């Protein structure tokens, strides 16, 4: 007999509106994300600008809302002006972050052309590692200023007479990390970020600016870093960043399945620190979170080790994790956490989009295919609409080394009252036991079951490949039934499910 997970939902249990920016992604000049990822002019599917049309189509199918660019660690040594003007005149540079050579064939203007085709909002990061205020103002004016000043006229001469209109800007990347080119103390970064933000707002007061938070919650300076940075910059920034990656380590499957517990705690801790600074400074404004790097990433694997010595290749194979069914379940659970915190997570970016720890994979000159993680992202982006609801959940627990005790299930729901559509996202995090779902939906009135999909595989380590791209895909869950306002059915061990319901037509 299965253990039971009970969900109680009510349209009054509202957290916040669903934010489209929750479904952002990340394109960094790292490995094959750009070259042979989004851009491959010699590919049979390349368009007139050299972009892979198959990747563009998959990006739109994935439901990506915004894309952070050009880094990542890469940005802390990047000279943005290397990537503009005639391609034949652009210099190649060593990228210290990933020990690679950057040819600068793709730069700001090319990225913006791609973003328009992909139908995504751009999010641009400035270099506060080796550069500072002047360079941030230069790239802002090049990107956004109307013609009539030197840099805007240069953009027009390069084929873009109209401003790009980039609204979201990141003030550097992971500046607390000693691995970062130009790493800074909290005091050093706070001063530079504040003065850069102040200057950028003199150019355009309506920008949305993101200060660097801690690179991860295990940093020794976590919490204190956010406090120092926000104390200085509070009046000039809108968001503070959060980054988190998860992987199964030391054969500790149970802790990995509970990874969203850590994301929940991370978000709650950053919110507490931001609100402490708000109270200390007696401010009305609330600082939001940009969770602009998150994913499953196996950093210990050989694919994550950059080249070394005299080897400085262009677009090497780097961070090309192959994701399993279990990875997709954890990934879907991380999306549940982000949605659950929609009151404070204003933006998020899945790191990354193509080839590099990505839901989309490509073969140079050849095929593209969907990793297992593609599916929970695409389905959540497509069907999460209206208001995020706080789901009350009662489920059995399981023990794990990292978190002690965790719930065997996790869930969130969204309710589009105008359309009369309810979407329930639920995971079974038990690695052994099927769960019997019992969800009370009576408060929504007369509903009908539209669709029930479950991502699960008998082998949790099964993966999709170029030759077998549909090994792990969501399947119809025919066990789920809706009767008298109660949704019941079976959730297999290590599974992610989407249940769609709609108001019954009169």
pLDDT at 505: 78
Are 80 and 93 in contact by the 8 Å Cβ rule? The answer is: no
Listed by start position, the domains of the chain span 3-10+388-503, 19-383
Give the contacts of 368 (CB within 8 A, at least 6 positions apart). Answer: 52, 54, 55, 58, 360, 361, 362
Give the contacts of 9 (CB within 8 A, at least 6 positions apart). Answer: 389, 391, 392, 413, 422, 424, 439, 440, 441, 443, 444
Give the contacts of 66 (CB within 8 A, at least 6 positions apart). Answer: 21, 23, 24, 25, 120, 121, 122, 123, 168, 347, 349
Cis omega before residue 72 (within 30°)?
Answer: yes
> 């069907």: which residue's tokens?
383
The pair phi, psi for residue 40, each rounded to 5°, is -160, 85
Instruction: Kindly give the pairing relationship between strand 368-370 and strand 93-95.
Output: unpaired
* Alpha helices, H only, 145-258: 150-157, 186-203, 224-233, 253-257
**pTM, whole model, 2 decimals?**
0.97
- 293 is known as an active-site residue: yes
Nearest to 166 by CA among 196, 136, 199: 136
pLDDT at 182: 97
Rounded Cα distance, 473 and 465, in Å: 12
- Given 3.40.190.10, 3.20.20.80, 1.10.10.10, 3.40.50.2000, which CATH number is that of 19-383? 3.20.20.80
The pair phi, psi for residue 501, each rounded to 5°, is -135, 160
Nearest to 208 by CA among 234, 169, 174, 241: 169
Q: Hey, what are 464's tokens?
A: 């999709």
pLDDT at 1: 56
Cis omega before residue 70 (within 30°)?
Answer: yes
Are 120 and 111 in contact by the 8 Å Cβ rule? The answer is: no
The residue annotated as part of the active site, out of 40, 110, 293, 387, is 293
CA distances from 150 to 145, 160, 495 (A): 10, 14, 56
Nearest to 374 by CA among 393, 358, 386, 391: 358
The total of other beta-carbon atoms located within 10 Å of residue 157's CB is: 12
The residue annotated as part of the active site, out of 40, 174, 248, 421, is 174
Question: What is the pLDDT tens value at each position of the chain, 506 positions in all?
Answer: 579 999 999 999 999 999 999 999 999 999 999 999 999 999 999 999 999 999 999 999 999 999 999 999 999 999 999 999 999 999 999 999 999 999 999 999 999 999 999 999 999 999 999 999 999 999 999 999 999 999 999 999 999 999 999 999 999 999 999 999 999 999 999 999 999 999 999 999 999 999 999 999 999 999 999 999 999 999 999 999 999 999 999 889 999 999 999 999 999 999 999 999 999 999 999 999 999 999 999 998 878 889 999 999 999 999 999 999 999 999 999 999 999 999 999 999 999 999 999 999 999 999 999 999 999 999 999 999 999 999 999 999 999 999 999 999 999 999 999 999 999 999 999 999 999 999 999 999 999 999 999 999 999 999 999 999 999 999 999 999 999 999 999 999 999 999 999 998 76
Where does 3-10+388-503 sit in CATH, by number?
Answer: 2.60.40.1180
């Amino acid at each position: 007999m299965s253990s039971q997970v009970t969900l109680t939902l009510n349209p009054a249990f509202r957290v916040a509106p669903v934010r489209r920016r929750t479904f952002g992604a990340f394109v960094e000049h790292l490995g094959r994300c750009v070259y042979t990822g989004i851009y491959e002019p010699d590919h049979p599917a390349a368009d007139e600008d050299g972009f892979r049309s198959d990747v563009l189509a998959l990006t739109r199918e994935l439901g990506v809302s915004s894309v952070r660019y050009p880094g990542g660690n890469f940005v802390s040594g990047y000279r943005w002006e290397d990537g503009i003007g005639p391609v034949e005149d652009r210099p190649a540079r060593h990228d210290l972050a990933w020990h690679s050579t950057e040819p600068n064939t793709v730069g700001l203007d090319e990225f913006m052309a791609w973003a328009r085709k992909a139908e995504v909002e751009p999010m641009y990061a400035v270099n506060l590692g080796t550069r500072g205020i002047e360079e941030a103002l230069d790239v802002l004016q090049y990107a956004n200023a109307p013609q009539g000043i030197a840099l805007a006229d240069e953009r027009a001469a390069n084929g873009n007479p109209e401003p790009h209109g980039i609204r979201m800007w990141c003030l550097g990347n992971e500046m607390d990390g000693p691995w970062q080119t130009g790493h800074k103390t909290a005091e050093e970064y706070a001063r530079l970020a504040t003065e850069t933000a102040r200057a950028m707002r003199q150019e355009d007061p309506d920008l949305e600016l993101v200060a660097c938070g801690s690179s991860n919650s295990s940093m020794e300076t976590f919490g204190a870093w956010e406090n120092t940075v926000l104390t200085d910059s509070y009046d000039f920034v809108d968001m503070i960043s959060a980054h988190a990656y998860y992987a199964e380590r030391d054969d500790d499957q149970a802790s990995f399945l509970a990874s969203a517990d850590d994301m929940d705690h991370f978000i709650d801790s950053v919110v507490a620190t931001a609100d402490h600074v708000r109270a200390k400074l007696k401010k009305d404004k609330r600082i939001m979170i940009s969770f602009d790097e998150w994913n499953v990433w196996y950093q210990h694997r050989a694919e994550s080790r950059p080249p070394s010595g005299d080897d400085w290749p262009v677009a090497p194979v780097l961070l090309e994790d192959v994701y399993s069914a279990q990875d997709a379940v954890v990934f879907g659970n991380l999306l549940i956490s982000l949605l659950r915190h929609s009151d404070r997570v204003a933006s998020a970016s899945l790191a990354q989009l193509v080839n590099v720890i990505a839901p989309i994979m490509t073969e140079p000159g050849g095929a593209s295919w969907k990793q297992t993680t593609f599916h929970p992202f695409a389905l959540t982006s497509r069907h999460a609409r209206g208001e995020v609801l706080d789901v009350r959940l009662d489920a059995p627990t399981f023990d794990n080394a990292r978190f002690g005790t965790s719930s065997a299930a996790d869930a969130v729901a969204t309710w589009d009252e105008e359309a009369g559509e309810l979407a329930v996202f639920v995971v079974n995090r038990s690695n052994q036991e099927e769960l019997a779902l019992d969800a009370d939906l009576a408060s929504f009135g007369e509903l009908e079951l539209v669709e029930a999909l479950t991502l699960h595989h008998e082998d949790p380590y099964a993966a999709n490949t170029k030759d077998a791209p549909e090994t792990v895909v969501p399947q119809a869950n025919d066990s789920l039934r809706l009767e008298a306002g109660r949704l019941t059915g079976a959730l297999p061990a290590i599974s992610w499910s989407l249940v769609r319901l709609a108001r019954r037509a009169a």
